[in-house]
Amino acid sequence: MRINLIIFTIIIERMDNGAIEKSKQRSRYIERKINDSKNKYLYL
């Protein structure tokens, strides 16, 4: 997970502010989806 974060921050540094904000939102959304599905399978 940490490696992905490092790669993600490197990619972010190369983008402009609008793209940064959009990708942050996207990553938060994806993270939320992953956690939701984890919880779903955890409590089955």
Task: Please state the φ and ψ torsions of residue 37, each to the nearest 5 degrees.
Answer: -70, -35
- Give the pLDDT confidence score for residue 21 in this predicted structure: 82
- Give the pLDDT confidence score for residue 15 in this predicted structure: 65
Boundaries of domain holding 14 = 2-42
pLDDT of the chain, 44 residues: tens digit per residue: 677 777 777 776 776 667 778 888 999 999 999 888 888 887 76
Q: Give pTM, 2 decimals.
A: 0.49
Q: Domain count of the chain?
A: 1
- Rounded Cα gap, residues 26 and 20, in angstroms: 10
DSSP-derived secondary structure for the chain: -HHHHHHHHHHHHTS-HHHHHHHHHHHHHHHHHHHHHHHHHH--
